[in-house]
A and B are shown apart, each in its own frame.
Chain A
């Protein structure tokens, strides 16, 4: 068992060794060769590094790895495989060749070593040889630099021939511009060959410029053009509008186009004829030349509100609707039209926002592809703050005209709006300047009319003495009303007061009656009435009974009340006269009666003052 096991071990080891040996032979069969299309290039050029891997056996061979030296950039790789079978004396050998193309772009000048390419095959590492490449400074050189493809080496004369028949031109509109001024650059391909697989290699990034692509060819549209007496097929590749953003000398990067020349079209003579050469193509890289553009800074003295617009512009404004309620929105459209860097155009200066409330605009840019003209639309929402015939003042845009080399300012036409009063209470407006009054269109109210009469309004109501005197009226009224009520109350409750208050008018009534009797000639009646009026008056005033008032008594009563002695004497005299006339009737003249009447009247008046 153990013996058998050892034999088996030996057998296995032998098989393994044999296998390894065989593998080693296989690995030896793989060979690698490295080459480069040219050993001296300029900065920016492409280097084609080609690795050919030849294997004797059918089988998988992995792709070689190529280190990228610092200073070069790997831009891509392709591979192709070909197979050859040889049968010699009934023994067949196969050979497979795989070609790898690595493209490197030279970024910095210096000497570089490409390779070795490495390949792992059956556990072994296979290395190719190394290639030395020199990268030199870019020199002023022809516009084209065809790079011949691998597989066929080209001589200097051949390159020159290609350069004369295939080139790429960059044509700038002008070489001296202002910052922000538009400069158009056209890229055009000139060829006398039949081209295939035309592709952009390196597309420049325009540092220092804002680039706007106006035209970019999707397919070659060939046109006939005669240059220096030779007919060319030309194709417009690109058209760009560049807007310099900074001043100074700028060099535009080169555009690179890779294409294949169908070499078969070139007749090489009768004996060189090869039916398969029709398919033979030559890889060529064409580059445009350097273009230097001098960018000048904008002159000093930019007007207020200048925002970097360079070109020729027009501006107009419209408002919809032109009749609106105060507080309702109006759509105001301001269109800037012209040729220039429209994207760099800021919003035009809005009119003073005192009469209108503006919201930030919606901006829309439309450019036309012929050149870089177009229009930029600013759509505002404006809300009139005040009713009336209102003028929407002009919008202002300042720009630099590079043709006339000076700054210009355009304004929109003022727009008349009819604003009817809305629900929104008008806000008091502040901060307007005097000179804008007329432009804004609303005005002060008109003067007051002519007058026939003008009152002096110098004093306010409260400043007049009459006003305050008037306030006394109700006070006095209340006082009067109160007094009247007291009087009425005493008349009812106080007999003495009531008699006293009535005394005068009752005496007056009696006197009146006496006068009537006198006129009627009733002497007795007259005297009786006079007597009664006087005695009743005294009784009322003193709150006594008139019946008890005899002539003697009345005297003492009147003395008690402090009546003047003369008046008492008068009263007693009148009483005496009356008694005499009543009880000793005789002819009493009317004159006597009148005298008595007057005396009684006077006495009543005198008594009223005393008692």
Chain B
């Protein structure tokens, strides 16, 4: 039985903690990325864009590549693509200050004004609290609570004299586990909703999937939307304000 545990445990710990399954990029891709940086420093933003885009096209998902790509797009006056790249970088490096700052800066340049929610202080605090925990942080929290609970359970088994203490700790840790797991589940759900950035100067939202339908709203480059449905080459998108409309798929790109 012990040998079974050992056989299972070691690879699991190794994979989970060391992240061995995160594939490392080939040296050629790293060189291409560094060449993109060189072009950027030289002010040749178009060349930098093409270098970074090639790195991305090879299937490497790295936040720094997307961040630099966003910068190059921004300097090349392609606001929509800059915001798209920053959003992608943020997905890969949640909480990175550079990405957050530049995304905010780029968002400030766009035409569409995101209506500020008239939230009261409580909801704002909750939102800030919620935003504070990234998905990875929540995953680590879940993991830590699971291990704590396991530890307390083992203590319960072997140290029968402190049952009250172990019981209290167990309740606390189970509560923490449930809380963090619920948040993780919620955030993961939100994360799984496909989002997109408008890339054309002006995209018309219509009441149905077709250009004959009534015009509902107009969006401009750089605005972030959630994709609710896909019907042919038309997408039902929803704004943060809850406003929904059908937009042609070529007007935007998924994050």
Contact = CB atoms under 8 A, between A and B. Distances in A.
Interface string B18-33: 0101111100011001
A448 B98 contact: yes
Given A450-B34, A464-B16, A485-B158, A473 B150 contact: yes
B98 A445 contact: yes
Contacts of A456: 22-25, 60-62
Interface of A: 354, 428-434, 437, 442-462, 464-467, 469-478, 480-483, 485
B241 to A, nearest CB: 13
A465 B93 CA distance: 20
B143 interface: yes
Nearest to B185: A462
Contacts of A483: 1
A444 B106 contact: yes
**Which 9 A-B pairs rank lowest in CB-CB distance, beginning with the nearest?**
A474-B150, A466-B15, A458-B61, A470-B16, A461-B139, A469-B12, A448-B64, A454-B25, A447-B68
Q: Which of A354, A448, A466, A485 neighbours the largest number of chain B CB atoms within 10 Å of its CB? A: A448
Contact of A457 (B5, B68, B71, B93): B93
Instruction: Tell me what chain A mostly uses at the interface: helix, strand, loop, or mixed.
Output: loop
Contacts, number: 166
A72 B172 CA distance: 103
B37 to A, nearest CB: 5
10 contacts: A444-B102, A445-B101, A447-B37, A455-B23, A456-B62, A458-B92, A466-B16, A467-B16, A474-B146, A481-B158
A460 B92 CA distance: 8
A455 B16 contact: no
Q: Which size bracket describes the interface of B in this complex? A: 35 or more
B65 A454 contact: yes
A432 B60 CA distance: 34
Contacts of A449: 37
Contact of B15 (A354, A457, A469, A471): A469
B121 interface: no
B109 A460 contact: no
Contact of A470 (B17, B22, B107): B17
Contacts of A467: 16, 139, 143
A458 B19 CA distance: 12
B36 to A, nearest CB: 9
Contacts of A465: 15
Contact of B30 (A448, A451, A466, A473): A451
B136 interface: yes
Interface in B36-56: 37, 40
A535 to B, nearest CB: 30
Contacts of A434: 77, 79, 109-110
Contact of B140 (A458, A461, A478): A461
B113 interface: yes
Interface string B152-196: 011001100000000000000000000000001000100100000
Contacts of A472: 8, 12
B246 interface: no
A222 B139 CA distance: 99
A472 B146 CA distance: 9
Contact of A453 (B24, B93, B107): B24
B111 interface: yes
Contacts of A428: 104, 107-108
Contacts of A430: 107-108, 113-114
B157 A481 contact: yes
A447 B154 contact: no
B29 A454 contact: yes
B146 A471 contact: yes
B136 A461 contact: yes
B25 A453 contact: yes
Contact of B151 (A451, A454, A461, A474): A474
Given A454-B33, A454-B65, A469-B12, A478 B157 contact: yes
Contact of B67 (A354, A448, A478): A448
Contact of A454 (B62, B111, B188): B62
A455 B22 contact: yes
Given A469-B15, A474-B149, A455 B24 contact: yes
B13 interface: yes
B9 interface: yes
Contacts of B19: 455, 464
